[in-house]
Chain A
Amino acid sequence: MMTVSPEKLLTPVLSAFWDDPQSWTLDTYRRHEGYEGLRKALAMPPDDVIAYVKDAGLRGRGGAGFPTGMKWQFIPQGDGKPHYLVVNADESEPGTCKDIPLLFANPHSLIEGMVIACHAIRSNHAFIYLRGEVVPVLRRLHEAVREAYEAGYLGKNIQGSGFDLELTVHAGAGAYICGEETALLDSLEGRRGQPRLRPPFPAVEGLYACPTVVNNVESIASVPAIMQRGKDWFKSMGSEKSPGFTLYSLSGHVVSPGQYEAPLGITLRQLLDMSGGIRPGHRLKFWTPGGSSTPMFTDEHLDVPLDYEGVGAAGSMLGTKALQCFDETTCVVRAVTRWTEFYAHESCGKCTPCREGTYWLVQLLRDIEAGKGKLSDLDKLNDIADNINGKSFCALGDGAASPIFSSLKYFREEYEEHIERKGCPFDPAASTVWADAGTSHLEVNA
């Protein structure tokens, strides 16, 4: 395969000026066409803005990939009720680390996108639900919102348009489930974060039982660039069904972990090729295309186009584009056990399949990892996961089943090895970032 240079493959838009010394300020944002998209949007009738974003083909960047413009269109108009926009900044899916650096370095892209979205859906009060565990980001959001009010991008009669918008920054308190949109709404209403039965969908009865759009940070932050540079520019990237640019988050046993903004459809092989690959002397064993809830891939899948259709066709989901890479030193049973412990800890307890199922998965997996498992446990694992998947109240249950199914599919013999050898054949010390440091330090200094 010909190697294409990173300059041609990468398309920084949201991340284009993150290295500016004061990238998070309004001044910096304005120097990079900030709030120009809003100017154009405010000059358009709200329905035209919705149609424009729909035509651009922007799809949700939080995992599910639902068309953003369509979500906006579902808001009933002329119903006499208040409408709300709630931005889901509860980024907690294991491996996912795009919205937090985006908000830390460029919070105004989200605020501008929110004003545009609220103009479109005719909302006068918007919320950012930020997970609580990221105080540096909360500080910058507080400051960015203050700046935006002061400059007349929020508040009364925004930029002389007659449009009013209040924006409230709300810090959560630690619960993965609040990334589920209806649990997020319950949490924002001051309750335990547990998912709601749907229908009614949030577009009809969301926050305070009023029509509500819940969008991911990156989805909304992508809107200003679409308005400013045009839908055709946006559609010139990616594929017909998955147009545009997005943030890919590379992590794990790679030479250069980090954020890589590229058109949808880039492959992991391309990203690794340009960034130095897997750490020296090692090879890729398994990886997730979009967080722990998306079925894992192996080195057979290096050339899968990382867009909604491509990853789906290969048996997983694009999810949040959290590319967690693990090399051959990593025990897949350990990895899946830890993820499953996470789902059991974060299960909200509302529905039985998820609450009970994740608990029993953990018991079985801990035994297998410790060499106390039986071969029949593997079918039992599969069976329990099958009783969670699709039978739970929300997608947390499906997510919990994904690592079980996919690891049994690709690495069943590794589970069997744990059982037959009565123990884990891996040395966890070999997986650490400092495992090879002694030798490479010598070489670097040479």
Chain B
Amino acid sequence: MTDVSLGIPQMPAPDYPADVRARLEADAKEIIARYPGSRSALLPLLHLTQSEDGYVTRTGVRFCAEQLDLTTAEVTAVATFYSMYRRKPSGDYQVGVCTNTLCAVMGGDAIFDELKEHLGVGNNETTEDGKVTLEHIECNAACDFAPVVMVNWEFFDNQTPGSAKQLVDDLIAGREVRPTRGAPLCTYKETARILAGFPDERPGAVEATGGAGPASLAGLRLSRGEALPGPDAGQPARRSSVPPQGETPAAPSGTPGQPSPAEHASSHDAPQETAVSDPANPAGPESEEGK
């Protein structure tokens, strides 16, 4: 929550220094030209000010208002509606853990709890060194890669508490971090500039991590008669563990003596599709027909 200020209204926000303003005005002109109506440029312009300041400052709001002939109140009303506009100074890396239902159940809640403890910060708080801002996020359209963590809106798929801790440690130590889908990380400000509509000019950024992610290819592989990837790749697909209609399913196995999730840091690198190899599954190859 932001502080509610009562009483004396704030003085108008200071302007950007002349050289910064000139540079941003050139960018703003380019953004506004993309739209038949200038006000459509407001969301990209707010991204642009974040690329300068790292969050939406009063100076940034004033700049947007002046570019679009709006009041600062009108700009603020928009800036406060959308969750990607930061309201206060924050870290170079925005680490978002998906805790919407599916990711939460699959482990997102445990990952978020682990990171809060490891970093010593709460939701939407930043580490003292200014590197990492932690938050929980809503569904990011990658449910087949659950649990998902986003850093500066690049995908880190199939995470565990251990892998996520390693991730933030690497960010804090300044080591190069590569997402499972997306380009090598740039800072929050650089990301905000891409969001403002200026293409990422870094060589290799567009092609980084290749075509689709492994889960995206599951159906395509099966349609070609391939087995799904895993330690047993090459074996035919197994039959379902879904009971036929009418059959009483076996009682779920208990989960005594579960290992701590953190002990499995090594299991996070590969997509977790490997249970296709379940040796406990008594079903034979699906060979009734067509094989």
Q: Do A and B interact with each other, yes or no? A: yes
Give the contacting residue for A428; candidates B109, B155, B225, B239; CB below 8 A.
B109
Contact A4–B212 (Cβ < 8 Å): no
What does DSSP make chain B's interface, helix, strand, loop or mixed? loop
Annotate A252-285 by CB proximity to B: 1 below 8 A, 0 otherwise: 1101111111100000010011111111111110
- A-B pairs with beta carbons under 8 Å apart, 18 shown: A1-B244, A5-B225, A134-B155, A136-B209, A172-B43, A172-B82, A174-B82, A191-B78, A251-B143, A257-B215, A257-B273, A258-B144, A273-B240, A276-B276, A279-B241, A280-B275, A283-B242, A444-B279
Find the B residue at minimum CB distance from A142: B199
Q: For residue B253, which residues in chain A have a CB less than 8 angstroms away from its CB? A: 281-282
Q: Which of B72-108 contact A (CB under 8 A)?
A: 77-78, 81-85, 96, 99-102, 104-107
| Shortest distance between the CB of B231 and any CB in chain A (Å) | 5
| Shortest distance between the CB of B37 and any CB in chain A (Å) | 5
Contact A276–B216 (Cβ < 8 Å): no
- Is B14 in the interface zone, CB < 8 Å from A? no
What is the total number of residues of chain A having a CB less than 8 Å from a CB of chain B?
Answer: 127
Most buried by A among B212, B249, B272: B212
B residues adjacent to A (C-beta < 8 A): 34-37, 39-44, 46-47, 68, 77-78, 81-85, 96, 99-102, 104-107, 109-110, 137-147, 150, 152-155, 158, 160, 179, 181-183, 191, 194-197, 199-200, 205-225, 228, 231, 237-245, 249-250, 252-253, 255, 258-259, 261, 264, 267, 272-281, 286, 288-291
| Shortest distance between the CB of A432 and any CB in chain B (Å) | 4
| Shortest distance between the CB of B151 and any CB in chain A (Å) | 10
Query: Knowing A257-B218, A272-B242, A278-B240 touch, does A132 contact B153 (C-beta < 8 A)?
Result: yes
Binds B, one of A45-53, A110-118, A392-400, A435-443: A435-443
Contact B137–A15 (Cβ < 8 Å): no
Q: How many angstroms between the C-alpha atoms of A125 and B37 in the bound complex? A: 12
Contact B100–A256 (Cβ < 8 Å): no
Contact B139–A96 (Cβ < 8 Å): yes
Q: For residue B264, which residues in chain A have a CB less than 8 angstroms away from its CB? A: 434, 437-438
Query: Knowing A190-B68, A257-B143, A434-B261 touch, does A283 contact B249 (C-beta < 8 A)?
Result: yes
Give the contacting residue for B140; candidates A134, A260, A322, A435; CB below 8 A.
A134
Contact A433–B215 (Cβ < 8 Å): no
Give the contacting residue for A440; candidates B110, B213, B278; CB below 8 A.
B278
Q: Which of A107-139 contact B (CB under 8 A)?
A: 125, 131-136, 138-139
- Is A232 in the interface zone, CB < 8 Å from B? no
Contact B39–A139 (Cβ < 8 Å): no
